[in-house]
Amino acid sequence: MENKIKRKINTFGKVTKILTMIVIVFLLVAEGFLLVGGVIAAVVPKDSVKVDCESSTEVFVDTNYFGMDGDAFYVNMGGSKLYIGDLGDDSYDVKNQNGILELNSSAQSKHYDLNTALVWIICQMAAFAAIIVALYFFRSLMKQFMVCDTPFSDGVVNKMRAFAIALIPCMAVYHAVGAVKNNVLGNDGSTGLILSVVFVLVIFVLTMIFKYGAELQKEHDETV
């Protein structure tokens, strides 16, 4: 039974190590393509490619069924109001004309050129580099699983701790370049920083659990 569990752990480590290496290779290839694109964006005159984006939206609804109360949008339900949303945005222009509620919105115009592309490429390369570094530490951990007699060993605990510590600067770089990229592209999307912090904390907790298991394993071996 013990040998069967050991084989499963070793097989898991071997398979995951191979898959991790495949992902690393793909990311390195992507880094190569990004490098070529970055060189092109740096050499070609910046005004050779320009993109200007602007969008607007018009919505018309019947005030017999829908209405606005300040910034709040509601549905008429037999004399009562069912509020279904709060626009709360200065980009919306609301008018009530002849029983028709007219909502106009316009997005801020955006301008992109090769400078924008170059900044995006540099940020993406830095983000990929952070992921690759983290994956190398993860690969090292899986390699330890591949050869260990038990997961509760000093080798596994040390590699897991190294992986957890390496995640901190890697995640910091990844989210920093993500924030720069969002700023350059005019995108307010979330970078998921809280989720990353939770993930790192979970790895540290697992490290402590495995360390405790390794100590119990030592006590058991010494007793036997």
197 conformational bin, left if phi > 0, alpha if psi -120 to 50, beta if neither: alpha
Token pair listed for 58: 């018009």
Angstrom distance (rounded) from CA 20 to CA 12: 12
The pLDDT profile of the chain, 224 residues, written as one tens digit per residue, is 557 778 888 888 899 999 999 999 999 999 999 999 888 888 877 777 667 666 666 666 666 666 666 666 667 766 677 666 665 555 566 666 666 767 666 656 666 677 788 888 888 888 899 899 999 999 999 999 888 887 888 888 888 889 888 888 888 888 888 777 777 665 544 446 666 677 777 887 788 878 777 777 777 666 65
Domain locations along the chain? 2-46+111-223, 55-107
111-132 b/e (C-beta count within 10 Å ≥ 16 → b): ebbbebbbbbbbbbbbbbbbbb
CA distances from 72 to 69, 86, 88, 183 (A): 5, 4, 7, 29
| 11 membership: H or E segment, kind and range | helix 2-43
In angstroms, rounded to a whole number, what is the distance separating the alpha carbons of residues 133 and 147?
22
3-state secondary structure of 205: helix
* Whole-number pLDDT of residue 180: 76
